[in-house]
Structure 1
Amino acid sequence: MSSRSRNAQRYLPLLFRGGGRGVVLFAFAALAASLTSGCIPQSRAAPEPLEENHPPKQHHPTLVSLNPCTDAILAEVADPAQILAISHYSHDPRSTSMDAAEARRFPATRGTVEEVLALKPDIVLGSTFTDPATASAYSRLGLRLERIGMAMTVEENHAQIRQIAGLIGQPARGEALIARINAALAAAAPPAGAAPIPTVVWQSGGMVPGDGTLIADVLRRTGFANFAAARGLGQADLLPLERMLADPPALILVAGRSAETGQGSNIGGDDRVLSHPALSALKTTRRAALNPKLLYCGGPTLIAAAQRLAEVRSSSPPARPELVEGGGGPSQMVEGHPRIDATPTGRDLGPVPLHQLRWSPSPCRGGICG
């Protein structure tokens, strides 16, 4: 028999001798004993109610970006405090995909392991081209590397923005950027029923972007037909000047260095192919400057690309330069346009070797030359 039972038998008669008062005292004593001995389980503390109007805060990781394309997206969707560093390319006006002044708000690295490790980011945003040895070093040191691929279509660009915005805890800002891009593309779309303009995007050295590229998709959406892709040329293929002259498109978008401003009297700049005088002799072809920075990255770059292409499409081409008989004398201006001396005898352009052509540049309007 337990000690508790023995005590009950010992004191029970004494309690009942006192009548009702004893019974009550016994009841209270029994209740106190049970509470202290654990016979009746104690109730758990009620959890504090969640505040419905104040959901848990989402973690916003810190980042180092190694790619100018992701730099530009981060500048749109991340908090400035999240961006510990961007790529050194974005500090270079020749290679940045964002406003240079905006880029200088953030430190830059060359992506070395030592630089990145010192910053202690939560995430390193690289690309599919990140050096394998560097990626391996990041992994050994406990740095999380996320490789961001190259978008080849507008849809892939949108998926990429969502991927980055999700990684950094800013999904709503990612959707807002996508909405701005869609609005810019819609505003740049051609009128219903308008025929696409056969167009070559011609880069330095005669290089062209073929089909299956982001700029090719943007061209299609804004009313242009990829002339190079239709002739079997792929990404980074070369289109020789002779082939361009023999089979010219309706429009050449010149993406040389001097096209970065979209202005200038010679939109081919110092590139011997893009600025060749024979191009001015193409009576049915006009030329327009296209900033080469608009060719490779998605994100906010697509907004600027759509706006520029809409501007080119809506611009009326100036009067065509005319071929005139030159008699071998110095080049002259004819009604404000370049005079091209075809040959010393003033023959047609067709059989003339390209090196015999002479050209005097004239101002173009808004980066568009006839």
Structure 2
Amino acid sequence: MIRRLALAIALLPLVSAAPLPRMPRIVSINPCIDAVLMQVADRAQIAGISHYSQDPRATSIPLALARRFRATSGTAEEVVALAPDMVITGPHVEPATLAALKRMGIAIVQYPVPDSVEESEAQVRDIARVAGHSARGEALARRIAVAARPVAGATVPALIWQSGGLVPGAGTLSDDLLRRAGFRNMSAVYGLKKWDVLPLEYLIARPPRVLLSMGAAEVGEDRVTAHPAVKRLGQRIAIAPYPTRLMNCGGPTIIAAMTRLRAIRKGYGV
């Protein structure tokens, strides 16, 4: 009996020391996926990221962090050179690139652009799952849900204005964030589609209470905020800088976007 017990104890280290499954080596060719991976994957798993994440105008992660990783422009040659097990990307990828990666036997996981907070939370969970860290994805999704809790009170008419007059309308993530932050997206009032261009004349004839301007955030003014007719609106319209990087992605970017939107609503007394 004693000899059998001693033998069992001697075998225990051999059992506990069995190698764990290797986590997949991942290349992301989408900056929004990059931002999620930084929070749900091990650093050693991330073989490469999108070159957009190393561009100050486009990144959704701190530049100092992004520059620790190899970046690619998303070509098959660059990706294959990094020897990943898996490529994760968004919807906009050259068909030739996808075909080349499939021929090389590299797994591809592709996600659409999320149109709501709930869709983004689901993506976060799935990205974490394929990266082998489901619990981290669940934790990040919970933080997003808390940050995106709807603000109580009357809604304030608002509009997000991008360069050239491009406006996000109903059915977009930006529309969902505006609503949750206590704003009413004026896009529908102007009869705009999901993504549409708003003529300046329409804006002047019926201005929103708050105009979230990406030009004001990037260069101080853009065509609309600098226009004399807009300036003559005076107190009828508040122009609030809204960085482009808060428009580009869901995932953890939602937390930063909601923080900015809540601050705008509070700061402009609306």
What is the TM-score normalised by the length of structure 1? 0.66
Change (3 A) 1:185 1:54: farther
2:104 matched to which residue of 1? 141
Displacement after TM superposition at 1:56 (Å)? 7.8
Displacement after TM superposition at 1:54 (Å)? 9.0
Change (3 A) 1:54 1:302: farther
Which ranges of structure 2 fall in alignment gaps of 5 or more residues? 1-7
Name the one with the larger helix percent.
2
CA RMSD of aligned residues (A): 2.3
1:177 matched to which residue of 2? 140
1:240 matched to which residue of 2? 199
1:272 pairs with one of 187, 212, 223: 223
Structure number with the bigger relative contact order (C-alpha 8 A, sep ≥ 6) is 2
2:213 counterpart of 1:254:
yes
SS in structure 1 at match of 2:148? helix
Q: Which residue identity lines up with residue 248 of structure 1 in the other structure?
A: P
Q: Which residue identity lines up with residue 204 of structure 1 in the other structure?
A: S
- Within 1, Cα distance between the matches of 2:220 and 2:228? 12
SS in structure 1 at match of 2:38? helix
Seq. identity, %: 47
- Count of residues in correspondence between the two structures: 260
- Within 1, Cα distance between the matches of 2:264 and 2:14? 54
Displacement after TM superposition at 1:51 (Å)? 10
- Within 1, Cα distance between the matches of 2:14 and 2:130? 26
- Within 1, Cα distance between the matches of 2:16 and 2:167? 54
Residues 190 and 202, structure 2, Cα contact 8 Å, conserved in 1: no
Change (3 A) 1:279 1:136: same
2:260 matched to which residue of 1? 308
Change (3 A) 1:54 1:233: farther
Which ranges of structure 1 fall in alignment gaps of 5 or more residues? 1-45, 261-265, 319-370
Residues 40 and 128, structure 2, Cα contact 8 Å, conserved in 1: yes
1:216 matched to which residue of 2? 175
1:290 matched to which residue of 2? 242
- Within 1, Cα distance between the matches of 2:105 and 2:42? 24
Q: Which residue identity lines up with residue 265 of structure 2 in the other structure?
A: R
Residues 128 and 134, structure 2, Cα contact 8 Å, conserved in 1: yes
Q: Which residue identity lines up with residue 92 of structure 1 in the other structure?
A: D
Residues 127 and 148, structure 1, Cα contact 8 Å, conserved in 2: yes
Residues 26 and 88, structure 2, Cα contact 8 Å, conserved in 1: yes
- Within 2, Cα distance between the matches of 1:101 and 1:49? 44
Q: Which residue identity lines up with residue 165 of structure 1 in the other structure?
A: A
Q: Which residue identity lines up with residue 303 of structure 1 in the other structure?
A: I
Change (3 A) 1:250 1:134: same
- Within 2, Cα distance between the matches of 1:58 and 1:77? 17
Displacement after TM superposition at 1:58 (Å)? 4.7
Q: Which residue identity lines up with residue 223 of structure 2 in the other structure?
A: R
- Within 2, Cα distance between the matches of 1:255 and 1:148? 26
- Within 1, Cα distance between the matches of 2:203 and 2:118? 31
- Within 2, Cα distance between the matches of 1:145 and 1:214? 25
Change (3 A) 1:206 1:139: same
Change (3 A) 1:49 1:307: same
SS in structure 1 at match of 2:132? coil
